[in-house]
Structure 1
Amino acid sequence: MPKVPILMPQLGESIAEATIIRLNIAVGDSVVPDQEVIEVETNKATMGVTALCAGEVVDIVAQEGVSYAVGTVLGVLEVTQEEVDRTGETTLDDIAAAENSNASNAAPANDGGDEEANLHFKTEDGGYHEPKLVEPNVQGLPVPTGKGGAHYISPRMRARMTELGLRAADISAITGSGAGGRVTVEDLEAFLEYIDTWPRTKASPMRLAVADAMRRSWTRPLATVARPLVMDKILNHRRNQNPKPGPALYLLRALAIALAENPTTAGYLIGENVVHPRAFDIGVAVQVDDGVLVPIIRNADTKTLSELVADYDNLVELARARKLPADATQHGIATVTNFGTFGLTWGTPIPLPNETLILGLSAGVKKPVWSDETGTFIPVTEAEIDLTFDHRVVDGGGAGMLLNRISELLQAPEQL
């Protein structure tokens, strides 16, 4: 009689493997379609593996407490040919034939019947080769089922990482030896022993805070759009001001005005609602020793550029001296960063976890730009402005329109 494998299914997008929690079947049991035969745990939830056709359990490979990659054979059912025809399920014969076929001419199924296919498909340790016919069953975007790296963390591994104060990102450099490339506790201990003699420095509280914020921020789908910005009008306006606004303050003021015109672009996605900001408080990134501080300019949409200069300069100075009051860094809705001060001509800044947007300014570069008025190329100072956004809240078109509006406002700096 035909034999049909029970496979570890694709249990969700980005789920590459799962750990067996409970076996609900034993060899000799009869199962029916859609019966939950195995209970598994992923890094997201506890789920069930169901039988896709009726039959008798003739082999169980899976072991409780062990993780298996998507597509791994967990057990085998003996079924009738009528059941195979009804469900269209892939048998061990089908898999053995596919594995023995060449690129131009697929070989026929083994003449030796089910037993020969079963022997061909079985490995020396009593398991089974991973079927080449298995494809992820989640439709739409491609779902990776990678075989290397820390895709899944078992409960035992998670407990050991908690003891050591480690997070998932900390073990991304470790090559796993477990099922599906899973990083085991033994892999972790070997890696820690390997790097034990390497030189190291203690991470400062500031660095740890930045690392934690970036880990949390990167749990969202972030995207970046950019466009050139001619800086000449801003630079000319700045020369005539006393005190002179910093370049980032021009961006901050333009961003606040643009967001006040369209508040949804700075909203938060909470459940099924987009929560709009109540005030347009914009932060400015300030580089300090071993990290970044982000003091907040309150109500930046209601004050003119000249009114904001004193507050801006004071907060930047306090930040560089590490003397910011606690309330000066809380509850901003977006951030502006001038990475051009380091000579960088482009970048992809990352917003804070509590913010949807961050606007970056690159270094200005002299470039020839065609002028329709003079019919010649004229030299201008051009920079790039980059907007990174939470793609759950804002789409590329919306981000592009926001960036275009910011650029338009910056071409009339006297009105900021």
Structure 2
Amino acid sequence: MPTVPILMPQLGESIAEATVVRIDIAPGTEVKVDQEVIEVETSKATMGVTTLCSGIVKEIHAKEGVTYSVGTLLGLLDVTDEEVTRTGVDTLEAAADRRTAAAAAPEQEKNLHFALDDDSYEEAPAVVPSVKGLPVPAGTMGAHYISPRMRARMDEMGLREADISAIVGTGAGGRVTVEDLEKFIDYIETWPSSNASPMRLAVADAMRRSWTRPLATVGLPVRLDRVLEHRRNQEPKPGLTLYVLRAFALALVEDPASSGFLMGQKVVHPRAFDIGVAVQVEDGVVVPVLRKVDQKSLGELTNEYAEMVERARRRRLAEGDLKGGIATVTNFGTFGLTSGTPIPLPNETLILGLGAGVKKPVWSDQVEAFIPMTEAELVVTFDHRVVDGGGAGMLLNRVAQLLQQPEKL
């Protein structure tokens, strides 16, 4: 009976590995074509590995909690000759026949583009994550110059400079030596620890890359009473995040240079006002992107936004849902936080944050008395190479002005 492999698929053009989180089959299980049999987690979403044809599960090589690279053998199916003919799938036996034929005629050019290589079916070791966070105690001196020997040891251990920045160095000028690193690793050997998820590692890597730029944050209190009054009369009701998102997009249309990014000696301006929304998930944050926000009304965005957030929380976003944003909006006020300094993604210049609304007494000249008003902190963190404090301040003021006319959003 022919045998067909279940391989770790290419889940996106920038995804090279995925972690198995659930296996839904066992040897002897009958499966259908395109049936989801293994659930895997990438740095961006949870996805399913499906079968190429119908058959009976022969072997399961994958293990839950282990990360495998694209092309790794996850299992084997026993299939019928009729199913092979019907679906056109390649089999291990066919691959072996091709190799035998190629070995008998080595002078002929081999077409390996669609050929199955038996080596790719050997169980590959788990992929070691490229970023490993370490808890570190406070120190008075940190890492400065890193010697080639130290760099090589860090590469072996999958460490970044940020991971060793708080280790007290005993080398010249406070330099952290290999001996300092090894001593510290021994020191934390017995500390409680857990493996970071692919999502956590992706967030860590993105923030590390973002922090290589000079970032700054400015804030402005904004009154939300008109927004809240407008929202009460809408059905379905847009969230506060959507009001801010829409006002942010309209403000950027008026000043597109603020959302450009620096590339050498050029500032590249946005070709579309696609804006991401930070969504908290179980072990990190994902940022799905809403397209052409400047061209859609609040009503048009409400259902689209709700559906996108729901898919994000179920980790069912496609890779395309996470690409192409020029800026991000984050509502940290949902956690009761009144202020914050959010960090933009590495490929974006701006991130706009909204804090929790707070009732405050505000003087009214009309009634000559203090009246209660709902205020929230609006902040923007920006790449200071592209935007200056004055420009960021004007952008914030314009967003605040637009929020005072919610009926026009």
Q: TM-score range by the shorter chain?
A: 0.5 to 0.7
TM-fit CA distance, 1:363: 0.5
Give yes or no for contact 2:170–2:180 (8 Å, CA) kept in 1.
yes
Report the Cα distance in structure 1 between the residues aligned to 2:394 and 2:213, rounded to whole angstroms.
Answer: 21
Q: Give 1:69-148 correspondences, 5 Å limit.
A: 148=141
- Describe the superposition over 1:30-59 as per-residue Cα deviations: whole angstroms up to 9, x where unpaired: xxxxxxxxxxxxxxxxxxxxxxxxxxxxxx
- Describe the superposition over 1:157-188 as per-residue Cα deviations: whole angstroms up to 9, x where unpaired: 11100000000000012000000000000000
Structure 1 moving runs of 4+ over 6 Å = none
Report the Cα distance in structure 2 between the residues aligned to 1:336 and 1:152, rounded to whole angstroms.
Answer: 37
Give yes or no for contact 1:370–1:377 (8 Å, CA) kept in 2.
yes
Report the Cα distance in structure 2 between the residues aligned to 1:286 and 1:204, rounded to whole angstroms.
Answer: 17
Quick one: which of 332, 346, 349 aligns to 2:339? 346
Report the Cα distance in structure 2 between the residues aligned to 1:147 and 1:314, rounded to whole angstroms.
Answer: 49
Give yes or no for contact 1:344–1:362 (8 Å, CA) kept in 2.
yes
Answer yes or no: is 1:291 the counterpart of 2:284. yes
1:327 equivalent in structure 2: 320
Aligned pairs, number: 271
Bigger Rg, which one: 1
Q: Give 1:38-57 correspondences, 5 Å limit.
A: none
- Describe the superposition over 1:284-336 as per-residue Cα deviations: whole angstroms up to 9, x where unpaired: 00000010011101000111111111111110110011111110010100000
Q: Secondary structure at the match of 1:170?
A: helix
Query: Which residue type is aligned with residue 287 of structure 2?
Result: V
Q: Secondary structure at the match of 2:370?
A: strand
Query: Which residue type is aligned with residue 292 of structure 1?
Result: V
1:361 equivalent in structure 2: 354
Give yes or no for contact 2:274–2:292 (8 Å, CA) kept in 1.
yes
Answer yes or no: is 1:187 the counterpart of 2:180. yes
- Describe the superposition over 1:130-162 as per-residue Cα deviations: whole angstroms up to 9, x where unpaired: xxxxxxxxxxxxxxxx99210121111111000
Query: Which residue type is aligned with residue 236 of structure 2?
Result: P
Answer yes or no: is 1:244 the counterpart of 2:246. no
TM-fit CA distance, 1:403: 0.2
2:406 equivalent in structure 1: 413
Give yes or no for contact 1:225–1:396 (8 Å, CA) kept in 2.
yes
Give yes or no for contact 1:350–1:388 (8 Å, CA) kept in 2.
yes
Give yes or no for contact 2:141–2:166 (8 Å, CA) kept in 1.
no
Report the Cα distance in structure 2 between the residues aligned to 1:268 and 1:397, rounded to whole angstroms.
Answer: 17
Answer yes or no: is 1:275 the counterpart of 2:271. no
Query: Which residue type is aligned with residue 197 of structure 1?
Result: T
Give yes or no for contact 1:147–1:181 (8 Å, CA) kept in 2.
no
1:308 equivalent in structure 2: 301
1:264 equivalent in structure 2: 257
Normalising by structure 2, we get a TM-score of 0.66
1:152 equivalent in structure 2: 145
Answer yes or no: is 1:220 the counterpart of 2:213. yes
Q: Secondary structure at the match of 1:292?
A: strand
Query: Which residue type is aligned with residue 386 of structure 1?
Result: V
Normalising by structure 1, we get a TM-score of 0.64
Query: Which residue type is aligned with residue 390 of structure 1?
Result: D
Give yes or no for contact 2:351–2:380 (8 Å, CA) kept in 1.
yes
Report the Cα distance in structure 2 between the residues aligned to 1:182 and 1:315, rounded to whole angstroms.
Answer: 47
Give yes or no for contact 1:150–1:176 (8 Å, CA) kept in 2.
yes
Quick one: which of 185, 194, 198 aligns to 2:191? 198
Q: Secondary structure at the match of 1:381?
A: strand
Report the Cα distance in structure 2 between the residues aligned to 1:238 and 1:319, rounded to whole angstroms.
Answer: 24
Unaligned runs of 5+ in 2: 1-138
Give yes or no for contact 1:221–1:392 (8 Å, CA) kept in 2.
yes
Report the Cα distance in structure 1 between the residues aligned to 2:147 and 2:237, rounded to whole angstroms.
Answer: 56
Quick one: which of 362, 367, 370 aligns to 1:374? 367
2:330 equivalent in structure 1: 337
Report the Cα distance in structure 2 between the residues aligned to 1:365 and 1:268, rounded to whole angstroms.
Answer: 34
Q: Secondary structure at the match of 1:301?
A: helix
Report the Cα distance in structure 2 between the residues aligned to 1:259 and 1:247, rounded to whole angstroms.
Answer: 18
User: What is the aligned-residue identity percentage?
Assistant: 72
Give yes or no for contact 2:140–2:168 (8 Å, CA) kept in 1.
no
Unaligned runs of 5+ in 1: 1-145
Report the Cα distance in structure 2 between the residues aligned to 1:379 and 1:197, rounded to whole angstroms.
Answer: 54
- Describe the superposition over 1:8-43 as per-residue Cα deviations: whole angstroms up to 9, x where unpaired: xxxxxxxxxxxxxxxxxxxxxxxxxxxxxxxxxxxx
Answer yes or no: is 1:170 the counterpart of 2:166. no
Give yes or no for contact 2:153–2:178 (8 Å, CA) kept in 1.
yes
Q: Secondary structure at the match of 2:300?
A: helix
Report the Cα distance in structure 1 between the residues aligned to 2:150 and 2:327, rounded to whole angstroms.
Answer: 37
CA RMSD in angstroms, aligned pairs only: 1.1
